[in-house]
Amino acid sequence: MRLTRPILALGGAALVLALAGCGSGDTKDAAAAVPEAATGSLEHLAAEVKCTPDMQTDADEIRQAICKNTDGKFILATFATDRGQREWINGAKDYGGHYLVGRKWVAVGETSTMTALRGTLGGTIEEGTDHAAHEGSHEPSDGASHSSH
């Protein structure tokens, strides 16, 4: 059944929100639990989440660093323009992952790390493409195999 995975994904997302305290049913409480998205330089954002950035890219258009704190390891990037940020995210999503997105910045890492960072930095969580979910979609449910690859 092809609808099973999307339904399970929605159920899983609801569970994550409930565990994060966002699924209480009270919209005001949920909105209050996530601060307004932080702004500032890469160093400022890194200081907010208590990590020392290990710079990987330091260019006019993008600054990117690897960070690690008590919540986990993640990539933190800042952008010169909103358009540059959106183009980067759209390209990166093809590789999967979990993205915490603010204005002209993004953090990339595990779901639990992004959820924890969101409590400090605000922003919205976006999901990359899950290619593993598509691997079995070409197989019939009886276990027979197609050799179309």
**What are the tens digits of pLDDT across the range 6-50?**
333 333 333 333 334 444 444 445 455 789 999 999 999 999 999
The distance of Cα 148 from the centroid of its chain, to the nearest Å, equals: 33
Predicted TM-score (pTM) of this structure: 0.67
**What are the tens digits of pLDDT across the range 59-92?**
999 999 999 999 999 999 999 999 999 999 999 9
Q: What is the pLDDT of residue 123?
A: 97
Which backbone phi and psi does 107 adopt, to 5 degrees? -120, 140
Mean pLDDT, the chain, integer: 77
State how far the Cα of 10 lies from the Cα of 148, in Å rounded to an integer.
30
